[in-house]
Amino acid sequence: MQRKLVETTVDDIRAGILDAAEARFRVYGLNKTTMAEIAHDMGMSAANLYRYFKNKQDIAAACASRCIDTQVALLRDVVRTSGLSAAEKLERCTLEMLRYTWETAHDQPRINELVNHVILEHSDIVHDKVRGACSLLAEVLAQGNESGEFEVDDVVKTAETVYATLKMFHVPIFMSLYSQEELISRARDVVALLISGLSGRKPKPD
């Protein structure tokens, strides 16, 4: 019992370090944030901080991994929600990803330093995110096939294409280019076009 309590405490400290680091990354960027500053924000010495993370890059990777876990969990919650059609799930997945990305990246351009670092130095984390998201999208497509909403021959490959098509709505850099209302409108239009194509029916003219 005592060992479990110690492990939980360590996890809480690590989570607090990631919270402090993310707060600095968003304001000052990855490059201008130091381990000493993160330690100061946590009320601990820099030497103590190194007990939990090897270096700033290690913290950045952990931040990115935690963010990705949250994103995939959001998608999973939508995909596993009963009572929704496949089309409804596809739209809700897109809007949830957009909402999350907007809330975490809008008016915070410095966050792109973290994103770029992870892409260049920890591509495995990015690929894990893509695989997780595509797997869940494949579930939606399979549901659509079963319900007769969609006509998809290869749900795995098509899920990868759908994910790539929706990339604009879950990449931080786009959050500063458009208003939230514009992004939501574009997302709905893109999803409507996707659903039309997945169903094998031509979109109706306005």
Residue-wise pLDDT tens digits, 78-134? 999 999 999 999 999 999 999 999 988 877 778 778 888 888 888 888 888 889 999
CA atoms within 13 A on the CB side of 65: 12
**Which pTM was predicted?**
0.83
Please give the angle made by the CA atoms of 58, 132 and 119, to the nearest 5 degrees.
40
CATH 1.10.10.60 maps onto the chain at 1-53
173/100 Cα distance (integer angstroms): 13
CATH 1.10.357.10 maps onto the chain at 55-199
Residue-wise pLDDT tens digits, 149-183? 999 999 999 999 999 999 999 888 888 889 999 99
177/183 Cα distance (integer angstroms): 9
CA atoms within 13 A on the CB side of 34: 6
Three-state SS at 138: helix
SS3 content of the chain, % helix, strand, coil (to 5): 75, 0, 25
**What does the DSSP 8-state code read for residue 80?**
T
- In CATH, which superfamily holds the domain spanning 1-53? Homeodomain-like (1.10.10.60)
- In degrees and rounded to multiples of 5, residue 122 shows phi and psi of -135, 55
135/22 Cα distance (integer angstroms): 28
Fold of domain 55-199: Tetracycline Repressor; domain 2 (1.10.357)
**Which of 87, 98, 101, 107 is closest to 172 using CA atoms?**
101
> Looking at residue 4, what is its pLDDT?
41
Determine if residue 107 is left, alpha or beta; phi over 0 gives left, psi from -120 to 50 gives alpha, anything else beta.
left
CB atoms within 10 A of CB 134: 20
**119 to 60, 65, 112, 129, 140: CA distances (angstroms):** 11, 12, 10, 11, 27
Q: What is the mean pLDDT of the chain?
A: 89
- pLDDT band per the 50, 70, 90 thresholds, residue 201: low
